[in-house]
Amino acid sequence: MGISGAAYASAIAFGRGESAQYMGPNIADQSSGVFFGAFAMFAATTASIMSGAVIERIQTVGFVILAIVLGSFAWIVAAAWGWHADGWLVTQRGVHDFGAAGLVHAVAGFFALGVLMHLGPRIGKFNADGTANHIAGHNMPLTVTGLMLIIVGFWGFLMACVIVPGEAWSWFADKQSTIYGTPITLSALAFNILMAIAGGIIGSWIWTKDPFWMMSGALAGIISVASGLDIYFSALAFIIATSAGMILKPAAIWLESRGINDAVGTVTVHGTIGLYGVIMLGVFGSGYPALTIANAPVITLYGQIIGAVVFFLLGFVPGWVSVL
């Protein structure tokens, strides 16, 4: 389609030009605008993921620069390699990450880790002997409400990853598909997301009994199955999400014990669980064709691990280098 950001923005502003037809009501093109908007949101999402990790100790200008590096470079490269039918991770390794557990969440999460390693902890977080203090949020109801809003947003986030049928650029004339061109149903998305939320909440409840971690567990649950939302069976999605919820807080505590002050658990929820989800799909989804072409590469555990390593590096290295 070849819509550039500048052309698209100008078309929206002035209502003329090639791209204007994608934004306004147009019976011949129902969803190009949705797809464009969704990807703009993904870019913004990467920065919002990082923001939670670095709060209370970063200057606005510094944060904006990091957001540009992350939102316009790091995750874009990951998406080009692993979220496109021509990406080398897909064509050569059969990597499958439908809901961007690795290429959005893990990239942003480990980008934040790279930043945090330079940024250091908030004042008062760690004692002289290295033990950590708990710095509670100011308002738990508002915090939980915010987390619930993110959960609601996930439905739109993930549904917007679906390519609708019948458009000039659709894979199929009569059925929805993923970005890879593999078939998907809205029912699968609806129920797997729901089961992931339930599993994540229950899993994190086991260890924490804490509403903050339980709502974070819901996010972790969704992220842990996002890679395979198109092919998981709902009960399996629930079990994987539950396991993600259970490892959430122990993983966050381990990170804290290494002297990293991740204020809201960003690195764990998005980074660690994102990679966990990518690898879990390799465990359960091996053998699925990653593309619709004949003799397509298939999903394998080895390929998913390769993808996880690449996503980790694409997040961590730019984050660590950007703050030098």
The least CB distance from residue 40 to other proteins, in Å, is: 29
The least CB distance from residue 217 to other proteins, in Å, is: 13
In angstroms, the CA 241 to CA 204 distance is 10
Q: Are 201 and 217 in contact (CB under 8 A)?
A: yes
The least CB distance from residue 292 to other proteins, in Å, is: 5
CA distances from 321 to 113, 117, 317 (A): 11, 11, 6
3-state secondary structure of 184: coil
Does 6 sit near other proteins (CB under 8 A)?
no
Of 10 and 292, CB closest to other proteins: 292
The least CB distance from residue 195 to other proteins, in Å, is: 8
Does 202 sit near other proteins (CB under 8 A)?
yes
In angstroms, the CA 37 to CA 33 distance is 6
Structure tokens at 255: 């990170």
Of 123 and 235, CB closest to other proteins: 235
Interacting positions 173-192 with other proteins (CB under 8 A): 182-183, 188
Transcribe 71-117 into DSSP letters: IIIIHHHHHHHHSSTT-HHHHHH----TT-IIIIIIHHHHHHHHHHH
The least CB distance from residue 3 to other proteins, in Å, is: 28
In angstroms, the CA 247 to CA 25 distance is 46
Cβ-Cβ contacts under 8 Å for 203 (sequence gap 6 or more) = 217, 220, 221, 241, 242, 243, 244, 245, 246, 248
The window from 122-130, 137-145, 225-233, 270-278 that contacts other proteins (CB under 8 A) reads: 225-233
The least CB distance from residue 14 to other proteins, in Å, is: 42
The least CB distance from residue 239 to other proteins, in Å, is: 6
Of 121 and 297, CB closest to other proteins: 297
Residues facing 132 on adjacent strands:
126
The window from 14-22, 57-65, 78-86, 199-207 that contacts other proteins (CB under 8 A) reads: 199-207
Interacting positions 252-311 with other proteins (CB under 8 A): 284-289, 292, 294, 296, 298
Q: Give the burial class of 192: count Cβ atoms within 10 A of its Cβ; 0-12 exposed, 13-18 middle, 19 or more buried.
A: buried
Does 209 sit near other proteins (CB under 8 A)?
yes
The least CB distance from residue 294 to other proteins, in Å, is: 7
Interacting positions 63-122 with other proteins (CB under 8 A): none
In angstroms, the CA 307 to CA 285 distance is 14
In angstroms, the CA 97 to CA 224 distance is 11
Does 37 sit near other proteins (CB under 8 A)?
no
Residues facing 298 on adjacent strands:
289
Q: Build a one-symbol-per-residue string for 226-255: x at contacts with other proteins by CB under 8 A, - elsewhere.
A: -----xxx-xx-xx--x-------------
Size of the site for other proteins (CB under 8 A): 26
Question: Nearest-CA neighbor of 223 among 309, 62, 66, 108?
Answer: 108
| Mutual angle of helices 140-159 and 211-225, in 10-degree steps | 10
Binding footprint of other proteins on the chain (CB under 8 A): 182-183, 188, 199, 202, 205-206, 209, 231-233, 235-236, 238-239, 242, 284-289, 292, 294, 296, 298
